Amino acid sequence: MTKGMGTLLPLMLLTGLLSACSRKEEAVVLSQEEKQSVIRFVAAEYSTETKPFLDNLVREFELKNPDILVELQVANWNVLDGIYTSMISKNQPPDLLITNVYAHFAEAGILNDLNDIISPELRGKMYPNLMQMDRIGGVQYALPYVATIRNLYYNKAVFEQAGIASPPATWSELEKDARKIKETGLAFGFGLDLTDDEIQAYLSYFFFGSGGGWVRDGKWTINSPDNVEGLTYLKRLFSEGLTDPEPTVTIRDEKQRILGDGKLGMMISGNYFTQVVPREFPGVRWGKGPIPVQDGEPPITFGVQDVIVSFKTDHTDKVALAKFLDFLYDDRNYEEMTTREGFIPVTASVGGKLSQSDDDMRRNIEALGKAKFYPIQEPAWQAVMDTSRKMGDAVLYDNLSPQDALDQLQQFAVERSAK
């Protein structure tokens, strides 16, 4: 053996050893990548607090669960439908989606049964009545995510300027008070939201407030005489200048700012109002009352819940989904989220804790048990809601009478449900 070969041999052995180590490390890394589960999570944006909170939550979850990657996308409600619809059309639906509808997905057979995913601990936390609304034929197609109770909110300073002592409880009182506010010349009377965002909410308030509703005994009742009376009343308020001037343009969040700024007397909104408006207008004095109903009708309670659904994908990992949902609804994380956003918790553990120090929260949680809700178990509801969003301008600006508009919506609902 030459001196050169004697030197070269150890180098070759060392190189081989390093190469072997490198291949071993590479194999370990590849193995880890192959085992890593992916959760595509599309979340609705409720406020400027939503994305930072969820970013931090996902980061903390991934540190604790390095074998699970969560791809988070936070989208404003105005574009949310378009985002997940595009994903579904490309056969790449999200693993988890925060939305306000689910029955049409269930009918299409593209949702996982969450009975097969969620842990017994998480199931035990949820309020049973909300879980029941998200279940069809024994299949848990959705999970409650957050809830709200709707009320009439008003600016106390505006009411005092108009000589109004207490919030209206009936339609006649609402009309009278809106007129008093208008006569001051300082603010608009009633915030009417018939925009793409909230028209289904205001229709609900005044359908139920007149003794009507969307569905009765399993059949659509959109053009019932009670509902027509409710929409006719709203049109009259607008025609007489007793509402804000742009009911089909100014969305709820903008109306809340106008109220906080003292330029609007009252509007119907969710309990998040109590967090959002004082945060933006620290000096505002606000009050709360019931949703006004037609004279002679009993008071109504109206609630809204948003849900989480899980789509069937080519990479569904039920164990990973269960871990993430447990973390999302972990008492510490979930309490922080609901407190930041001003929502009512859907878990008894967090709801019970917050109720101990907050009487309003206790009353809101009690109200959820008797509230009326959107007909989210109807597969046609998404399409009916989307179609209703086109009605506002037509009704307010005399292109369609309230009767004709609701007749058309009724016909659409019936035909859609028959498909």
pLDDT tops 60 at residue 204:
yes
Task: Count Cα atoms within 13 angstroms, Cβ side, for 218.
Answer: 1
The Cα–Cα gap between 406 and 391 comes to 9
Say which residues have a Cβ less than 8 Å from residue 36's Cβ, sequence separation at least 6: 66, 67, 68, 69
Own/partner pairs, 209-217, CB within 8 angstroms, 24+ separation:
209/171, 209/291, 209/292, 209/293, 209/294, 209/297, 209/300, 210/293, 210/294, 210/297, 211/294, 211/297, 213/372, 214/374, 214/375, 214/384, 215/375, 215/378
**Secondary structure of residue 372 in the 3-state scheme:** strand
Superfamily of structural domain 37-147+304-368: Periplasmic binding protein-like II (3.40.190.10)
pLDDT at 398: 86
pLDDT tens digit string along 5-40? 343 333 333 344 434 444 434 444 434 445 799 999
How many other CB atoms are there within 10 angstroms of residue 23's CB atom? 10
pLDDT tens digit string along 364-394? 999 999 999 999 999 999 999 999 999 999 9
Overall average pLDDT of the 227-251 stretch: 97
pLDDT tens digit string along 130-177? 999 999 999 999 999 999 999 999 999 999 999 999 999 999 999 999
Phi, psi at 205, each rounded to 5°: -55, -45
The Cα–Cα gap between 116 and 249 comes to 43
Q: Is the Cβ–Cβ distance between 326 and 114 less than 8 Å?
A: no
Residue ranges covered by each domain of the chain: 37-147+304-368, 150-302+376-418
Burial-class residue 135 by CB neighbours within 10 Å (0-12, 13-18, 19+): middle
The Cα–Cα gap between 348 and 307 comes to 16
Fold of 150-302+376-418: D-Maltodextrin-Binding Protein; domain 2 (3.40.190)
Q: Look at phi and psi of residue 398 and say left if phi exceeds 0, alpha if psi is from -120 to 50, else beta.
A: left
Of residues 146, 150, 149, 148, the one with CA closest to residue 337: 146
Say which residues have a Cβ less than 8 Å from residue 2's Cβ, sequence separation at least 6: none
Q: Is the Cβ–Cβ distance between 142 and 308 less than 8 Å?
A: yes
Say which residues have a Cβ less than 8 Å from residue 235's Cβ, sequence separation at least 6: 395, 396, 402
Q: What is the mean pLDDT of the chain?
A: 92
Burial-class residue 140 by CB neighbours within 10 Å (0-12, 13-18, 19+): buried
Handedness of CA 103, 352, 337, 124 (dihedral sign): negative
pLDDT tens digit string along 266-311? 999 999 999 899 999 999 999 999 999 999 999 999 999 999 999 9
The Cα–Cα gap between 216 and 376 comes to 14
Q: Is the Cβ–Cβ distance between 151 and 201 less than 8 Å?
A: no
The Cα–Cα gap between 102 and 130 comes to 14
Strands 96-99 vs 68-76: parallel, antiparallel or unpaired: unpaired
Identify any residues that bridge with 311 across adjacent strands, giving them in sequence order: 111
pLDDT at 35: 72
pLDDT at 1: 37
pLDDT at 16: 45
Strands 188-191 vs 264-270: parallel, antiparallel or unpaired: parallel
Q: Is the Cβ–Cβ distance between 259 and 153 less than 8 Å?
A: yes
pLDDT at 61: 98
Place of tokens 């997905």: 105
How many residues are there in the chain? 419
Tell me, yes or no, if the two domains 37-147+304-368 and 150-302+376-418 fold the same way: yes
